Amino acid sequence: MPQGPNGEVNGTDILIQVEHPADSGNYETIGSQRGATFGEQTASVDMSSKADRKRFVNPGRYSSTLSLEHLYIPTASGVAMLKNAMRNGTYVRIRRRELGATLETASCVCSSLNLAAPDQDASVFSAEFDVNGAWS
């Protein structure tokens, strides 16, 4: 992981891992990105009544998403593995790392995979992931 001039962390590594089709339980890193958009939400459950004008809420369902705008997948086999995971509804594992240490891991569904392939320029993948459960 690159560091700034004073040793500060310069970004977060996001690793996308897909279970190897020929070796169940063995995950292969197929892509990565520095910098991402993490989203976490907790829905509010309205507990109000007509007896009081004030609104009262309890925490409801938790959800989390991950957006990668410039996903780097260096091999054609990695692209095929991610496409197959999305099309077949197979979970992928996402690992967030800083300075070589894993901070969080989540089982995710790839909900969107897009390829921008402009003429005379580099192709860029973007992907959206929905976390199954929570980060650990």
Give the start-to-end residue ranges of the domains of the chain.
13-39+64-131
Q: Coil, strand, or helix at residue 117?
A: coil
Nearest Cα neighbor of 60 from 42, 83, 47 is: 42
Sign for the CA dihedral angle at 79, 84, 86, 87 comes to positive
Question: Six-digit token pair at 116?
Answer: 């921008």
The CATH number, out of the four listed (2.40.50, 1.10.3470, 2.40.30, 3.40.228), of the domain defined by the range 13-39+64-131: 2.40.30
For 51-107, the pLDDT digits (tens) are 999 999 999 999 999 999 888 888 899 999 999 999 999 999 998 887 778 889 999
**pLDDT above 70 coverage of the chain, percent:** 90
For 105-134, the pLDDT digits (tens) are 999 999 999 999 889 988 888 999 999 999
pTM: 0.80
**What confidence score (pLDDT) does residue 10 get?**
52
- How many beta carbons lie within 10 A of that of residue 18, not counting itself? 22
> In whole numbers, what is the pLDDT of the chain averaged over residues?
86
Nearest Cα neighbor of 74 from 24, 131, 120, 28 is: 28
